[in-house]
């Protein structure tokens, strides 16, 4: 609750900062403080929630439980890290620096609603608050045609699936007479209403779009590739994790008892997402585009949490969201400083920047899911949930084979950095502060890999 209000207020404050503070560096400084304050408030909220009972707010429209608070804190933490790592890069995107941070704060507000909604209307509002700023951010580089294309494409497709979401909500309302996800007593009975099932399918499709699951993934490569890299890093990580939690809440809390009707579909979507994401990523020549496909592949793993209706899946979602976000943001913050975004652009980085190359290697190992890194634990948790669920062992083995394929494209970067000769030209020099921040990010990745329970709190 406090976090939602704080995110909104800080957003408004940021917006006005743009009017009065003209020096971009100062804006970044103020934004950093704002995100730190937001992180502080989420931590305070976690500490403050002494009772286990969830807080019901706004006529039960929001139901903020300890999971939501914890997840909010993790996301605020990841965003703070993102602003620290990429603040200067956001500054270089365009002239409206304060607005960019404002939009990011609004997106966080949307995510906070998605972690705590109890009512389908709140879900809708959360999704919209999260999405609309992204359409703007995607097109922030106004003079770049690809950025414009990304924005328009994202907006049109997003608007279309928002329509599907609304349609689904309407059908569910028609079937149950309620918007409250904990109130769908009708859905818990054996009698099945085709209207409700159709509604669930519509909602499933629109969520599949938001988390870029196959076959609703077509927008992802173009949007992620076309958007300014600084915002791709945010959209493909934290926003995706936020959308996933919204997905998870609805399908486990409201539709959990109907899982036999949608589980197979989700499992097939998962398999398709893993297949398409990994296979297509193999053929990319640009690291940025590879990361776009890799984000589809990683979404495939996160879908395991949706397909497994149990407590481990909820734990897995946190670990996966954080591990994937931290490693990807780290990777993007190195990528954005390169002159050439192709694999060849990384040739010889290890000779030129040994420390940065080492950190990049750790991020890549984490994304590939090598033990001792967060990525391994993340995959472990979600696959563990799927094995517990039973009946999904085929999917688990398939996912592991796909993880082996992912090694190919992640290691291509490592091969370029360490084993190939080249200049690895930087567009922006990496200074000591960047190295320290990358080192902290890298330490977080390792910490996630050896002590994941620290990131689960009491969940």
Partner 1 sequence: MILTLLILIPLVAGIAAMAMKGAAKGISLLSSVAVTVTSLLVFTSINSFGPNGFVEWSMPWIPSLGSNISLMGDSMALVLCLLTGIVMTIVVITNWNKDVERPGSFYGLMLLAQAGITGVFLASDALLFYFFWELALIPVYFLSSIWGGEKRIAVTFKFFVYTFVGSLMLLAALIYLSLQNPGGNSFALENIIRAGASLPADQQQWMFWLIFIAFAIKMPIFPLHTWQPDAYEQSPTPVTIILSALMVKMGIYGVVRWLLPVVPDAVAFWSDTVITLSVIGIVYASLLAIVQTDLKRLVAYSSIAHMGLMSAAAFANTDVAMHGLVIQMFNHGINIAGMWVIVSMIEQRWGTRDMRQLGGMANTAPLMTIALVVIALANIALPLTNGFIGEFMLFNGLFASASQYHVTFMVVAGLGIILGAVYTLNMVQRTAYGEAVAMKAGGDITMNEYIGLAIIIGLIIFLGVYPKPLLDLTAGIMMP
Residues 92, 100: Cα–Cα separation, whole Å: 11
* Calpha distance 239→220 (Å, rounded): 13
Rounded Cα gap, residues 154 and 156, in angstroms: 6
By beta-carbon proximity to partner 1, the closer residue of 98 and 365 is 365
User: DSSP character for 10?
Assistant: H
* 331: nearest Cα among 300, 372, 293, 291: 291
- ∠ at Cα 357 (351, 358), nearest 5°? 115
CA distances from 314 to 67, 306, 317, 381 (A): 9, 9, 5, 9
Long-range contacts of range 187-196, CB-CB < 8 Å, 24 or more positions apart? Answer: 187/254, 187/255, 187/257, 187/258, 188/257, 192/258, 192/261, 195/171, 196/171, 196/172
Closest CA to 60 of 119, 109, 9, 106: 119
For the CB of residue 407, give the shortest distance to partner 1 in the complex, in Å: 6
User: Which is nearer to partner 1, 174 or 371 (by Cβ)?
Assistant: 371
The answer to whether the CB of 211 falls within 8 A of the CB of 302 is: yes
Query: Closest distance between partner 1 and the C-beta of residue 23, in Å?
Result: 41
Using the rule CB under 8 A, which residue among 1, 396, 426, 446 binds partner 1? Answer: 396
Note whether 315 binds partner 1 by CB under 8 A: yes
Residues numbered 319-378 forming contacts with partner 1, rule: CB under 8 A: 365, 370-372
- Interface with partner 1 (CB under 8 A), residue from 310, 380, 423, 439: 380
In degrees and rounded to multiples of 5, residue 227 shows phi and psi of: -65, 155
Contact pick of 404, 427, 436, 443 for partner 1 (by CB under 8 A): 404
Report, in Å, the least distance between residue 51 CB and partner 1: 23
Burial class (CB in 10 A: 0-12, 13-18, 19+), 284: buried
> For partner 1, which residue of 122, 403, 442, 445 counts as binding (CB under 8 A)?
403
Nearer to partner 1, 218 or 400 (CB): 400
Cβ 344 to partner 1, closest distance in Å? Answer: 14
Q: 150 or 416, CB closer to partner 1? A: 416
Q: Which stretch binds partner 1 (CB under 8 A): 1-9, 226-234, 297-305, 402-410?
A: 402-410
Of residues 408, 425, 436, 443, which one binds partner 1 by CB under 8 A? 408
Q: Which residues pair with 119 in a beta bridge?
A: 180
Handedness of CA 320, 326, 331, 332 (dihedral sign): positive
Number of residues interacting with partner 1: please give it, by CB under 8 A: 27
**Part in contact with partner 1 (CB under 8 A); list of ranges 15-23, 261-269, 322-330, 379-387:** 379-387
Does 442 engage in binding with partner 1 (CB under 8 A)? no
For partner 1, the closer of residues 16 and 419 by Cβ is 419
Question: According to the binding rule CB under 8 A, does residue 444 interact with partner 1?
Answer: no
Give contact residues for partner 1 (rule: CB under 8 A). Answer: 315, 365, 370-372, 380, 383-384, 387-388, 393, 396-397, 400-401, 403-404, 407-408, 411, 415, 418-419, 451-453, 456
């Amino acid at each position: 609750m406090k976090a939602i209000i704080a995110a909104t207020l800080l957003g408004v404050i940021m917006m006005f900062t743009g009017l009065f503070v003209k020096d971009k560096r100062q804006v970044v400084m103020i934004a950093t403080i704002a995100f730190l304050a937001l992180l502080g408030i989420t931590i305070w909220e976690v500490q403050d929630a002494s009772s286990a009972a969830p807080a019901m707010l706004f006529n039960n429209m929001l139901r903020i439980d300890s999971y939501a608070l914890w997840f909010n804190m993790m996301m605020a933490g990841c965003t703070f890290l993102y602003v620290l790592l990429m603040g200067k890069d956001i500054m270089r995107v365009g002239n409206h620096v304060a607005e960019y941070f404002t939009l990011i704060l609004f997106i966080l507000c949307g995510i906070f609603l998605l972690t705590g909604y109890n009512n389908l209307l709140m879900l809708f509002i959360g999704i919209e608050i999260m999405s609309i700023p992204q359409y703007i951010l995607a097109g922030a580089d106004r003079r770049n045609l690809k950025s414009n294309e990304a924005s328009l494409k994202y907006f049109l497709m997003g608007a279309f699936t928002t329509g599907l979401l609304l349609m689904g909500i309407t059908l569910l309302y028609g079937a149950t007479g309620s918007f409250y996800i904990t109130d769908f007593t009708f859905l818990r009975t054996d009698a099945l209403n085709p209207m409700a099932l159709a509604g669930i399918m519509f909602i499933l499709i629109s969520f599949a779009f938001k988390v870029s699951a196959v076959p609703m993934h077509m927008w992802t490569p173009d949007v992620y590739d076309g958007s300014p890299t600084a915002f791709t890093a945010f959209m493909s990580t934290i926003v995706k994790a936020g959308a996933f939690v919204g997905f998870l809440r609805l399908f486990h809390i409201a539709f959990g008892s109907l899982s036999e009707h949608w589980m197979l579909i989700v499992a097939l979507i998962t398999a398709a997402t893993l297949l398409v994401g990994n296979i297509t990523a193999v053929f990319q020549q640009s690291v940025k585009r590879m990361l776009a496909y890799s984000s589809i592949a990683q979404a495939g793993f996160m879908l395991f949490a949706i397909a497994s209706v149990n407590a481990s899946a909820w734990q897995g979602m946190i670990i996966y969201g954080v591990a994937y976000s931290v490693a990807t943001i780290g990777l993007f913050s190195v990528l954005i400083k390169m002159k050439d975004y192709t694999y060849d652009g990384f040739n010889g980085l290890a000779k030129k920047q040994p420390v940065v190359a080492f950190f990049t290697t750790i991020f890549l190992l984490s994304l590939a899911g090598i033990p001792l890194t967060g990525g391994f634990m993340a995959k472990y948790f979600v696959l563990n949930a799927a094995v517990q669920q039973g009946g999904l062992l085929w999917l688990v083995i398939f996912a592991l084979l796909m993880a082996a394929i992912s090694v190919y494209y992640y290691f291509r970067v490592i091969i370029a950095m360490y084993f190939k000769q080249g200049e690895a030209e930087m567009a922006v020099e990496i200074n000591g502060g960047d190295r320290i921040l990358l080192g902290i990010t890298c330490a977080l990745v390792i910490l996630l890999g050896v002590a994941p329970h620290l990131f689960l709190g009491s969940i």
